Amino acid sequence: MSAISPTLGARGGSSNDQLRRYNLSMVMTLIHHSGGCSRADITRRMGLNRSTVGALVAELVELGLAFEGEPESVVGRVGRPSARVYPNPDIVALAVYPDIDAITVCIVGLGGEVIRRIRYDTVRVPTVHETVNVVKAIVDGMRGEIDTSFRVAGVGVAVPGLVSSKDGRVLIAPHLGWRDTALASAVSKALDFPVFAGNDASLGAIAESLFGIARGMDDLVYLNGSASGIGGGLIIGGSPLRGTSGYAGELGHTLVNSAGARCHCGRTGCLETEVSLSRLLAVLKLPRADQDELEIALGVSRDPKVMREVHRQIDMLSEAISNFVNMFDPEIVILGGFLASLLSVGRERLADAVRSSSMSSVGRGLVIEKASLRSRIVMVGAAELAFAGLLDDPAAFARGTAAGGIAPRA
Ligand SMILES: [Zn+2]
């Protein structure tokens, strides 16, 4: 991260205004993504002098977007300690995640903390209409708390499907059975907040790169395995890979077995038909299992059938990962959901296979790791959509909500 010179400002106002707005945005973003940092960190990271950083921090505090905490005590350090600056967690986003068996709504504070989580189990795969009604009922139930304790920056909806980045329309969400539906505008109408929508795995990749195990890394591949299949998200050169309409990253439909099973997408031998939770549950003779339960069941099983299936799935997964490594040269491949359970029981087999089938110079330094944000991951990523405007122009955000009185946290 670095500050820009006045001549590079692109928005309206004098170049000094533009510079100040830009630097305010950078400081706010740094505070939010670090969950709090010292003025000294900000000074170092932004390459600005201390008094400029002091003024920017004071403005964010004045705007009610940040607060300064106790000075950090560092043993052995000489001189005045640097105060820590934290994002105001009372500024929140609502994160919404409709899936095949549940609709989850979270309140996520600035800084990425999940403050409240409500999961509504559905009796069947929810329609768009049912989803909007359930989300409205949940938010109405929290309305008192929201109105008295929080300022809502907006709503981020994560969808297991193809979502247009331009208008939040869902082109197709195969497992939900949704097709060409104006999801973001329906939710916005019901809740009366600005609403943004994105693909769940792409949002997961963003969350891990900002708050999780890939913090500070510019190139990553994220693969999430759930009951509805395998989703993927890519961060390339520090930016999420979106494609023309926001549909990029359908990594679950990578060919891994030309003699494999038919996929719902119409092709044969896709990653998500060959590497699947239902096939693992079938050999384990379990009706269902979450990530931890699956990991334990796979870890203790001595059944040769289970071992064969685990090895088969790890080999297929390594085939796909090798392709992604050759294509994108990532620093890290992050596995979530049941793929993280597979990694736990077959880490060496997977790493060896990826190493041997990637171009040797590319696969050598690769890290393959489990997602670190676990059940928070998609919600934190969805909230990031809603925080984008605030981070882009903190003063404009604060002005827009000033009537409601954003009080700095004591
Ligand atoms: Zn497919």
Dump pLDDT digits (tens) for 225-249. 988 899 999 999 999 998 887 788 8
> CA 18 from chain center: how many Å?
29
**Band of the pLDDT at 404, cuts 50, 70, 90?**
very low
Q: Is residue 209 part of a domain?
A: no
CA 162 to centroid of ligand 1, rounded, Å: 13
**Band of the pLDDT at 360, cuts 50, 70, 90?**
low
CA 262 to centroid of ligand 1, rounded, Å: 8
pLDDT at 392 over 60: yes
Asked if 150 and 270 sit in the same domain, the reply is: no
Asked if 394 and 263 sit in the same domain, the reply is: no
Asked if 332 and 224 sit in the same domain, the reply is: yes
HEC string of the chain?
CCCCCHHHCCCCCCHHHHHHHHHHHHHHHHHHHHCCEEHHHHHHHHCCCHHHHHHHHHHHHHCCCEEEEEECCCCCCCCCCCEEEEECCCEEEEEEEECCCEEEEEEEECCCCEEEEEEEECCCCCCHHHHHHHHHHHHHHCHHHHHHHCEEEEEEEEECCEECCCCCCEEEECCCCEEEECHHHHHHHHHCCCEEEEEHHHHHHHHHHHHCCCCCCCCEEEEEEECCEEEEEEEECCEECCCCCCCCCCHHHCECCCCCCECCCCCECEHHHHCCHHHHHHHHCCCCCCHHHHHHHHHHCCCHHHHHHHHHHHHHHHHHHHHHHHHHCCCEEEEEEHHHHHHHHHHHHHHHHHHHHCCHHHHCCCEEEECCCHHHHHHHHHHHHHHHHHHHCHHHHHHHHHHHCCCCCC
Residues with Cβ within 8 Å of residue 215, at least 6 apart in sequence: 33, 208, 209
CATH of the domain at 15: 1.10.10.10
CA 223 to centroid of ligand 1, rounded, Å: 15
Provide the number of structural domains found in the chain: 3
CA 50 to centroid of ligand 1, rounded, Å: 54
Of 87, 105, 126, which closes a domain? Answer: 87
Query: Looking at residues 399-407, what average pLDDT do you find?
Result: 46
Of 87, 117, 147, which closes a domain? Answer: 87
Asked if 142 and 83 sit in the same domain, the reply is: no
Asked if 225 and 323 sit in the same domain, the reply is: yes
Q: Is residue 198 part of a domain?
A: yes
Scored b (16 or more CB within 10 A) or e, 103-135 reads bbbbbbbbbbbbebeeeeebeebbebeebbebb
CA 101 to centroid of ligand 1, rounded, Å: 21
Contact 96, 78 (CB under 8 A): no
CA 230 to centroid of ligand 1, rounded, Å: 10
Q: Is residue 410 part of a domain?
A: no
Q: Is residue 250 part of a domain?
A: yes
Asked if 289 and 362 sit in the same domain, the reply is: yes
Asked if 70 and 133 sit in the same domain, the reply is: no
Asked if 150 and 21 sit in the same domain, the reply is: no
Asked if 223 and 147 sit in the same domain, the reply is: no
Q: Is residue 409 part of a domain?
A: no
pLDDT at position 322 is 94
Q: Is residue 268 part of a domain?
A: yes
pLDDT at position 363 is 59
Asked if 229 and 358 sit in the same domain, the reply is: yes
pLDDT at position 13 is 64
Q: Is residue 259 part of a domain?
A: yes
**Band of the pLDDT at 3, cuts 50, 70, 90?**
very low
CA 332 to centroid of ligand 1, rounded, Å: 24
Asked if 282 and 172 sit in the same domain, the reply is: no
CA 240 to centroid of ligand 1, rounded, Å: 22
pLDDT at 336 over 70: yes
Asked if 70 and 104 sit in the same domain, the reply is: no
Angle ∠(175,178,245) on CA atoms, nearest 5: 100
CA 267 to centroid of ligand 1, rounded, Å: 5
CATH of the domain at 102: 3.30.420.40
Q: Which residue range forms the structural domain that includes residue 23?
A: 6-87
CA 157 to centroid of ligand 1, rounded, Å: 24
